[in-house]
Amino acid sequence: TVLVLGSYNQDHAWSADDLPAPGATRLGSYTSGPGGKGFNQAVAAARAGARTGFVTALGEDAAAATARALAAADGIVLHAEVHGSLPSGTAGIFVDAAGRNVIVVAPGANAALTPGFVAALDPAFAGADVFLAQLEVSPEAVHEGLRRARAANALAILNPAPANAFTTEALLRQADVLTPNETEFAALLQRHRGLACDADTLAAQDDAALHALCRELAPWATVVVTLGASGVFVSHPGEALRGDATGAYRLRPEAVHAVDTTGAGDAFSGALAAALAAGADAAFADAVRFANRFAALSTERRGAALAMPRRAEVEERFGP
Ligand code: ADP
């Protein structure tokens, strides 16, 4: 079982030929759909084949009803803290013909998820093999979740996204596995180790240099850096996780026809969690290989949560 803790957002997306300047109006088209890193990752884990629970906070509004219906449709067990005085999380997204966007996120209920609600979910934690969180809900709730997961002997994965969200050293230390993309990795190195670097600098590093940076950031953790269209880099601590060889390695990206990489990172973390939960004997490298395939396939469809593929589709495309 995978237990995901994180955000639900209702995304509202408007497309127009060009983005209006302040004070201006444009005619365009509109779609709405589910989003939020937490929900995207829960859907990914469920479709990757794991029994999945999702801990989140919702308002009492239409978006909350949508969240409940969509979770049920993917067989996800929802543990929602209801905040009647707050709206569910929303994102307003404006996209121009060139694909450039401007986004405003209103966290709403997500920011109010309490550690007390998380602490009361003992049975859910007791049944979890893998716990997975991101940084779009209150940091206190994330910290409580990671702490409970470790106490319950679940593997604790932190996807430290979005970049520059509030983190503390104590929070990072609760994670067995970190899954930043290059931007998030650079932000963590800056914030926690005072190392000035950016995503482009990281992309130019060889494996030995990346491994050293991963060890410097989180010597206790396995660090999995997603490299977008360049694949993924894995760095293990000295102490082997699940009998893997210690050290570092890189996986090439799968060849796909990417049309929309929104949510690729969410697909990766959700699928990794599911693969690791599938068997305590499963080698970490096999789980990473599956997540690399799953995330690649997710880029062939538009959207985030609803664009997640299913395990059978991944196996049909790339083999078992
Ligand atoms: P994020 O969505 O957080 O920016 P990335 O862009 O690093 O995350 O993508 C996450 C993962 O998705 C990558 O590590 C890779 O496995 C897969 N992926 C993303 N873009 C592509 C692509 N163009 N081709 C193949 N795989 C991709």
Query: Among 40, 101, 179, 181, which is best to mutate for testing ligand 1, by the most ligand atoms less than 8 A from CB?
Result: 181
pLDDT band at residue 245 using 50, 70 and 90 as cut-offs: low
- Greatest distance between any 2 Cα atoms in the chain: 60
CATH number at 22 reads 3.40.1190.20
Res 129: pLDDT: 97
Are 13 and 93 contacting, i.e. CB atoms less than 8 angstroms apart?
A: yes
* Amino acid letter, residue 153: N
Cis peptide before 22 (omega within 30 of 0): no
Q: Is 308 in the pocket of ligand 1 (CB under 6 A)?
A: no
C-alpha 86 to ligand 1 mean position (Å): 33
Number of the ligand 1 atom closest to the C-alpha atom of 258: 23
How far apart CA 26 and CA 17 sit, in angstroms, is 8
C-alpha 225 to ligand 1 mean position (Å): 10
Instruction: Please check if 311 is assigned to a binding site.
Output: no
* Residue 141 located in a structural domain: yes
Render pLDDT for 75-91 as a digit per residue (tens, 0 to 9).
999 999 999 999 999 99
Render pLDDT for 109-119 as a digit per residue (tens, 0 to 9).
999 999 999 99
Mean pLDDT of the chain: 94
* Residue 165 located in a structural domain: yes
Which residue numbers are catalytic? 266
Contacts (Cβ under 8 Å, ≥6 apart) of 85: none
* Residue 318 located in a structural domain: no
**pLDDT at residue 183 greater than cutoff 80:** yes
Which residue, among 281, 286, 274, has the nearest Cα to 318 in the 3D structure?
286
* Residue 317 located in a structural domain: no
* Residue 319 located in a structural domain: no
Res 126: pLDDT: 96
* Residue 13 located in a structural domain: yes
Instruction: Please check if 229 is assigned to a binding site.
Output: yes
Contacts (Cβ under 8 Å, ≥6 apart) of 98: none
C-alpha 37 to ligand 1 mean position (Å): 15
Q: What's this model's pTM, rounded to 2 decimal places?
A: 0.95
How far apart CA 5 and CA 66 sit, in angstroms, is 18
* Residue 320 located in a structural domain: no
Query: Mean pLDDT lowest for which of 53-67, 157-171, 226-240, 289-303?
Result: 226-240
Instruction: Please check if 303 is assigned to a binding site.
Output: yes
Query: What are the φ/ψ torsions at residue 137 (nearest 5 degrees)?
Result: -120, 180
Domain boundaries, position 139: 2-312
Res 279: pLDDT: 79
- State the average pLDDT over residues 66-80: 98
How far apart CA 40 and CA 224 sit, in angstroms, is 19
pLDDT band at residue 99 using 50, 70 and 90 as cut-offs: confident
Res 243: pLDDT: 53
Tell me how many domains the chain contains.
1
Tokens standing for residue 128: 């979890």
* Residue 114 located in a structural domain: yes
Closest C-alpha to ligand 1, atom 21: 229
- State the average pLDDT over residues 228-243: 81
